Each structure stands twice: as C-alpha cells, then as structure tokens.
C-alpha cells in the first residue's frame, strides 16, 4: 500500500487543498512536513469553506493529523486557527493532532524581522508572507531556536531565551529596533505552554508505529517545488525544502516510507511575490487568467502574477520531486481562449536550453520559446469524465503530459470535489 506525498509542482497555489482533502478522506494519517502558516489551503466540504494555514487538512475530517519537525510553528497562529475551526463546528482534540516535540517555534520577534526586511530597500524584498518563516528557519539552522519541547522545561527555557536574544537584540540594535525583553518573552511562553503542550509528541515514533500497522499516510506539502530553498528560484523562495524528499526529513520517517508522489499543477502558471517568471503575461491575457481563475492569495489577499503553462519548469520539478503523477487543476480557466501558449524551452544568450538555469541573473534573462495550441470554446468547468471534455482540451492535456514526461493522474475542473476526472488513485498505485 502506497503512502502518498503531495507537492506543488509550480510556485505554490496550485489548488492542493481540494486534492489533499479528497486524498485525506482515504488516509489514516495526514502529515505536514515543512513551512508554517505561510501556506493557505482552502477546502470546501458540504458547502462550508475552511481555510487552513498551519493545520494538516485531515483535521477537518477528524483524521489523525501530524505536524512534523520540518514545520516552523507559531503557537499563537495555531491556537487562532483551532479557534476559527471550532467556530465552524470542528473541534480538534489533542488525540487527533500531534505536534513534533522538536518543532521550532516562530516568535513575534521573527515576524517583526520579516516585516522590517520587507519594508526596506527593494534589494532585500522577497515578497514574503511576513509570517516570520524565514527568520525562524534561520534560528533553527543557527542552533538557537526555541523548540516546542522547551516549553515543557521552564528551568532551561530561560537560558535558551538568553542565547536567542543575544543574537536578536544585537541585530535589532543594528536596525534601530527596540530590544526584546527576555523576562516578558519568558512569561509569554510560559503562559502559552499549557495550551499547546497537550499536542506534543514523539512524532517520528508515532509515524513509525502507524507505518508498521499498515496505516495509509498522506504527506501534505505546502508552497511549491519552485519555492524550494535549494532547488527553487533562489533567493525568491521560501526558507524550507518543498520538494518531496522533505517529507522524510520533515517527519522523521525514512524515505522508503514514500510510495507515490503526486505533483499538483495548474493548467497555466501563477506566482506571488518577487522573482523571475519567464511566461508571465503582464497584459490583458494575464489579467484575463487572473480574473477567471480568481487568483488572489489565500493568506495575504495579494493578486497573483499570471502566465502561460511552463512545461520546462514542470518537467524540472517532476524530476526534482520524483513525481509519479500530476493532478492538473483549473483547466476550466482556459475555456474560451482562441489559442493557448505553452513554453517548451528558453532562449538564453543566443542558445536554446531545456531547463531553468540556476543563477538569478540567467533566470531573469531566459526568454520563453512557445508552442501555440488551438484553444476550445466549449465549457470544461464541471466535467467529470474524459467524454465531457472537448477534443482540443484533451489535446492540450496530452501535450502537457508529453512535454513534462509524466502522466496526469487526476484532472480537476472546478473547486467542487465531484468535478474531478480520475485516471489513477495515488493510494492504489
């Protein structure tokens, strides 16, 4: 039986929420393994819309939901999200939500630093979600982070805060920001501890046990492979590994636990924040895609940049994440275009290349080479079988499969979960 990892195959916002919800219904355990509350997953269940940022999607279906050590956790954001869910009638008891004891915490000082950098000169701006994600990961690799388990040990917490603040207060002085008072931070953390500690667990051990029992585990990726700290469009990336391999390190299960990798991608491309985007259409076409696709960020409400499908990038992320099958979403947004363009290569300094170059400078210069495909006038929204699709839409999907070197396992034709064409169930592959 395959455990499934779901990852975004573009720059995030590929429509993972609906697919993850459909898979989580079949899973026994749902695990978040990277990122934090910078993510935004929208689920529509029985007409109710749930917007999740930090919690694994399984919480809504009362599945065992796990936040792995690869996540950075803002305890306040966690409690707020739990409160919002409760207001919608979803209670998440501690036995349904387990959080790794070695998860690093996001503190207000991380958010302040993130916001300060984003408000500075354009040279330091990444277009982050200002949730403190980057600064929290910096402290993790700097070996000075406060971890969830530290809240259970007030005696050593004081010393850990001191170590953290010796770094941050020096930085803050340099930026003209007020210093953080260690005693106040200690009091805040002690006050929040009893609310979050009931969820703490040795997650690697729990997952190992579930795996041995033959339970189905769904690893829920956030953001997209092109935002990966190593393999993405650095420095315009998030601060975690978003490729599928992170499911192992970010949860404590060995890589052999991963059975099937499902990559989610839109039938076109979007990105939020700064950074290169070769097929961006900063024109009427981009506007039309954005309006039809309602392309506004779930977390920040920012309008997303829109452009044509980039087969070069998706082919690259298929390889980087070892994607076995794609879930292609929002095909219906392309209904009514006379013709569609798909990027099949780049021109760089007079040469043609078939991959995105690694340097920021070269990425900014890469010019897309397009193939034009005739569009369709029929409506694909709501299609539930291949037979419902116009011939040209099928041609478009088949051409994408060919160009990216990966089959489409699922096709989503509206936010409604029934509007899905299933070719292969990842859990049964």
x-or-dash string of contact with ligand IMP, 81-120, rule CB under 6 A:
----------------------------------------
Shorter beta-carbon distance to ligand IMP: residue 126 or 192: 126
Which residue in the set 223, 233, 281, 420 belongs to the binding site for ligand IMP (CB under 6 A)?
223
**CA–CA dist 80, 64 (Å, integer):** 20
By CB under 6 A, tell whether 12 contacts ligand IMP.
Answer: yes
Shorter beta-carbon distance to ligand IMP: residue 129 or 412: 129
Active-site residue flag, 310 = no
Q: Which of residues 123-142 bind ligand IMP (CB under 6 A)?
A: 126-129, 131, 133-134
x-or-dash string of contact with ligand IMP, 331-370, rule CB under 6 A:
----------------------------------------
By CB under 6 A, tell whether 238 contacts ligand IMP.
Answer: yes
By CB under 6 A, tell whether 241 contacts ligand IMP.
Answer: no
Size of the site for ligand IMP (CB under 6 A): 20
- Please identify which residue in the block is written with the tokens 């409160």: 83
The helix (run of H) or strand (run of E) holding residue 260 is strand 260-266
Peptide bond into 235 cis (omega under 30): yes
Active-site residue flag, 41 = yes
Tell me, what DSSP letter sits at residue 179?
A: P
**Nearest residue to the partner ligand IMP, using Cβ:** 273
Shorter beta-carbon distance to ligand IMP: residue 296 or 386: 296
Contact criterion met (CB below 8 Å) for 9 and 224? yes
Residues ≥6 apart with Cβ < 8 Å to 236: 126, 127, 273, 274, 275, 276, 360
Shorter beta-carbon distance to ligand IMP: residue 134 or 345: 134
By CB under 6 A, tell whether 39 contacts ligand IMP.
Answer: yes
Residue 318 φ then ψ, to 5°: -60, -40
By CB under 6 A, tell whether 13 contacts ligand IMP.
Answer: yes
Given the residues 37, 41, 110, 231, the one annotated as active site: 41
- Please identify which residue in the block is written with the tokens 């095909």: 331
- Please identify which residue in the block is written with the tokens 């936040």: 67
x-or-dash string of contact with ligand IMP, 242-281, rule CB under 6 A:
------------------------------xx--------
By CB under 6 A, tell whether 40 contacts ligand IMP.
Answer: yes
Residue 129: CA count within 13 A, CB half-sphere: 25
DSSP track, 332-377: GGGTT-SEEEEEEEEEETTEEESS--SSHHHHHHPEEEEEEEE---
In DSSP terms, which residues pair with 4 in a beta bridge?
218, 260
The helix (run of H) or strand (run of E) holding residue 254 is none
- Please identify which residue in the block is written with the tokens 């409604």: 416
Residue 46 φ then ψ, to 5°: 50, 45
- The SS3 assignment for 147 reads strand
Smallest gap, in angstroms, from Cβ of residue 264 to ligand IMP?
Answer: 12
- Catalytic machinery residues: 13, 41
Q: By the criterion CB under 6 A, which residues form the site for ligand IMP?
A: 12-13, 38-40, 126-129, 131, 133-134, 222-223, 227, 236, 238-239, 272-273
């Amino acid at each position: 039986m395959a455990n499934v990892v779901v990852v975004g195959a573009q720059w995030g916002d590929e429509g993972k929420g609906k697919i993850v919800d459909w898979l989580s219904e079949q899973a026994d355990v749902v695990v978040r393994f990277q990122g934090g509350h910078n993510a935004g997953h929208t689920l529509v269940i029985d007409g109710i819309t749930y917007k999740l940022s930090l919690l694994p999607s399984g919480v809504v279906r009362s599945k065992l939901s796990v936040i792995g050590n690869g996540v950075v956790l803002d305890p306040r954001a966690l409690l707020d999200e739990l409160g919002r869910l409760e207001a919608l009638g979803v209670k998440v008891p501690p036995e349904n939500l387990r959080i790794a004891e070695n998860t690093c915490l996001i503190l207000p000082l991380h958010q302040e630093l993130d916001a300060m950098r984003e408000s500075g000169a354009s040279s330091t701006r990444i277009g982050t979600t200002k949730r403190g994600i980057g600064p929290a990961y910096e402290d993790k690799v700097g070996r000075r982070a406060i971890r969830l388990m530290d809240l259970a040990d007030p005696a050593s917490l004081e010393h850990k805060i001191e170590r953290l603040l010796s770094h941050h207060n020096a930085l803050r002085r340099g930026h003209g920001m007020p210093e953080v008072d260690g005693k106040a931070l200690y009091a805040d953390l002690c006050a929040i501890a009893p609310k979050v500690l009931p969820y703490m667990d040795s997650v690697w051990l729990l997952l190992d046990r579930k795996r041995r029992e033959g339970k189905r585990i769904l690893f829920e990726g956030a953001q997209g492979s092109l935002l990966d700290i190593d393999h993405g469009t650095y420095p315009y990336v998030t601060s975690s590994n978003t490729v599928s391999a992170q499911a192992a390190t970010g949860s404590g299960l060995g890589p052999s636990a991963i059975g099937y990798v499902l990559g989610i991608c839109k039938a076109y491309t979007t990105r939020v924040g700064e950074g290169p985007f070769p097929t961006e259409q900063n024109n009427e076409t981009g506007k039309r895609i954005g309006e039809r696709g309602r392309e506004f960020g779930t977390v920040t409400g920012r309008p997303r940049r829109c452009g044509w499908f980039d087969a070069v990038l998706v082919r690259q992320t298929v390889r980087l994440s070892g994607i076995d099958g794609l879930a292609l979403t929002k095909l219906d947004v392309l209904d009514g275009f006379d013709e569609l363009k798909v990027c099949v290569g780049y021109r760089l300094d007079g040469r043609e290349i078939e991959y995105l170059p690694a340097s920021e400078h070269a990425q900014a210069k890469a010019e897309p080479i397009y193939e034009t495909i005739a569009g369709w006038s029929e409506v694909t929204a709501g299609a539930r079988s291949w037979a419902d699709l116009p011939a040209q839409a099928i041609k478009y999907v088949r051409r994408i499969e060919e160009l990216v070197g990966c089959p489409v396992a699922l096709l989503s034709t509206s936010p409604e979960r029934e509007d899905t064409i299933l070719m292969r169930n990842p859990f049964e592959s």
